[in-house]
Amino acid sequence: AGGALVGVILAGSWLAGQRLGAGGRAVGGAVLLASTALAVLVPTAVVPWAAVGMIFPGARTGGDAWSPAADVGTAFGVLTALALAVIAAVPSVLRSLRGSELLAQAQRWQAATTLAITGDLAMAAGGFRPVPRIGRGWGAVRGRSSAALILRRDLVGALRTPVRAA
């Protein structure tokens, strides 16, 4: 039962990630990080990640690792409430998804999987990199000598996509 509750919560998080923009995903990541830190600092059953740890007792280190925790009922209650909230939110999130975006994403994943299976990991990762926005109008192929041309081309490329140059 605990695994099913965690699965529903994770599936809802994935679905929310499909719907949210970059700002919403950043907020979601911050909430996830804060929840994880809170579970480590204050391991009570009302914190979702600590509740997961209490439901799966093999992860505990203190005392008898396989006996259920004293707060396992509270942990199930917290996870059940979260799962019910996710289930209630799913219809509205599904209505707001756009089919064209989902199709484009599915095609990207299929291409990346095919490229990764064939061993071309650079191309597989390249499909998920952002398109360069800075310096789109800069001419990268200018220069009289080959050395100046190569230097300019590399400099413009590094300025357009600094993450790829690293």
Q: How many domains would you assign to the chain? A: 2
**pLDDT range class, residue 68, cuts 50, 70, 90:** low
| Domain termination site, one of 73, 97, 121 | 97
Return the top range by mean pLDDT from 63-72, 75-84, 145-154. Answer: 75-84
Residue-level pLDDT at 62: 58
Could you tell me the two tokens for 84? 């019910």
pLDDT at 63 over 80: no
How far is it, in rounded angstroms, from Cα 153 to Cα 30?
A: 38
pTM of the model: 0.59
Q: Which of 134, 151, 133 is nearest to 142 (CA)?
A: 151
Containing structural domain, residue 36: 2-97
How far is it, in rounded angstroms, from Cα 88 to Cα 81?
A: 11
Secondary structure letter of residue 68 according to DSSP:
P
Residue-level pLDDT at 161: 72
Residues 142 and 119 in one domain: yes
pLDDT tens per residue across span 118-128: 888 777 777 77
**pLDDT range class, residue 80, cuts 50, 70, 90:** very high
Determine contact, residues 75/69, Cβ cutoff 8 Å: yes
**pLDDT range class, residue 66, cuts 50, 70, 90:** low
| Domain termination site, one of 79, 97, 115 | 97
Residues 93 and 126 in one domain: no
| Domain termination site, one of 74, 97, 120 | 97
Could you tell me the two tokens for 40? 């480590």
